Amino acid sequence: MKKKATFLTYLKQMRVNSWLKNLFVFCPVVFSLELFRWEVFLRALLLTLSFCLVSSAIYTFNDISDIKNDRVHSVKKNRPIASGIIPVHTAWILFALLLAAGLSLSFFVKVNAFVFILVYVIVNILYSKWLKRKAVIDCFCIALGFVLRVMVGGTVITSGVSNWMFLTVVSLSLFMAFGKRRGELTGYREGDTRDVLKQYDMNFLNGVIFTCAALTMVFYSLWSISQKSVLVYTVPIVLFIVIRYLLLVFANHSEADPTTLILSDKTLLISCGIYGIIMLLLLYHDSLPFSFPAF
């Protein structure tokens, strides 16, 4: 007997667990010391919600486009659209509603942010229909999604996104994207739906991953020193997080999906939490009753 779609089914289709990625919108706000400015915080929050709606629309569009391949995939066949719980015509309506709501909200908050999110939509539609089958280009498309999230956050602050932050996000995003491809290649079997994996070589991916990891640390270190000298104390924590993430990628956990890795590994999750708390303390310590020494 065919199951009926419930509210939880639609939430599953919207990939709510992947909304964690949209917190990248807040990066420029936090690092610009404008987090506690109510107007800036509210705009960043609304733009994060906008990105959540639009990204869910893209997930829906992708599942509609890949429905034939997903139905023969060992795992993806259980997705709401592939399994038939959500009919295709209903999925198209869901896609249109999510996209319209997300774009409208971003336009209302900031026109510049709307443009960046619109670029995200166009790139991901091209990715879903064509670019995901082009090796290296596919990972740069994934990385661009994170960069655009940060750029959207930069539209609500006065200073925008600094050069070092931009380079840090680019290298970090590529690190995660190529890491995900490595995880998928490890579990690749003939008949899998991601054809681009045939174009990748394990040694190539290993080299690119380590290169991007190293660049991430270099750019982050330079950003932290240029931003505020006391932030150099966070570099060892970030180094630990990157190395821990590398360990999980090479241990072939969850096809190296960034969201799944962070949420499933307690050590990584706690480390990210500790980093967030210490970063906030170091950035906003001027309002605290104690101070930190600086190099």
**Selection from 196, 182, 62, 67 nearest residue 133 by Cα:** 196
Give percent above pLDDT 70 in the chain: 92
Residue 37 lies in a domain: yes
Give percent above pLDDT 90 in the chain: 60
What Å distances lie between residue 210 and 11, 169, 242, CA to CA? 35, 16, 10
CB 38, CB 44: distance < 8 Å: no
Final residue of a structural domain among 134, 156, 178: 156
Q: Rounded to an integer, what distance in angstroms lies between the CA atom of residue 219 and that of residue 163?
A: 10
To the nearest whole number, what is the mean pLDDT of the chain?
88
Claim to verify: residue 13 and residue 148 sit in the same structural domain: yes
For the cut 70, the answer to whether the pLDDT of residue 295 exceeds it is: no
pLDDT digits (tens, 9 = 90+) for 29-72: 999 889 889 999 999 999 999 999 999 999 999 999 888 887 87
Highest mean pLDDT: which range of 85-89, 187-191, 207-211, 291-295: 207-211
Claim to verify: residue 144 and residue 13 sit in the same structural domain: yes
Final residue of a structural domain among 118, 135, 156: 156
Q: Rounded to an integer, what distance in angstroms lies between the CA atom of residue 212 and that of residue 216?
A: 6
Claim to verify: residue 146 and residue 177 sit in the same structural domain: no
Claim to verify: residue 248 and residue 174 sit in the same structural domain: yes
Residue 2 lies in a domain: no
Task: Tell me the longest C-alpha to C-alpha distance in the chain.
Answer: 67
Final residue of a structural domain among 137, 156, 175: 156
Claim to verify: residue 92 and residue 179 sit in the same structural domain: no
The parent domain of residue 260 ranges over 162-295
Claim to verify: residue 115 and residue 27 sit in the same structural domain: yes
CATH of the domain at 59: 1.10.357.140
**Domain tally, the chain:** 2
Claim to verify: residue 106 and residue 205 sit in the same structural domain: no
Model confidence, pTM: 0.89
Claim to verify: residue 127 and residue 247 sit in the same structural domain: no
Claim to verify: residue 142 and residue 167 sit in the same structural domain: no
Residue 1 lies in a domain: no
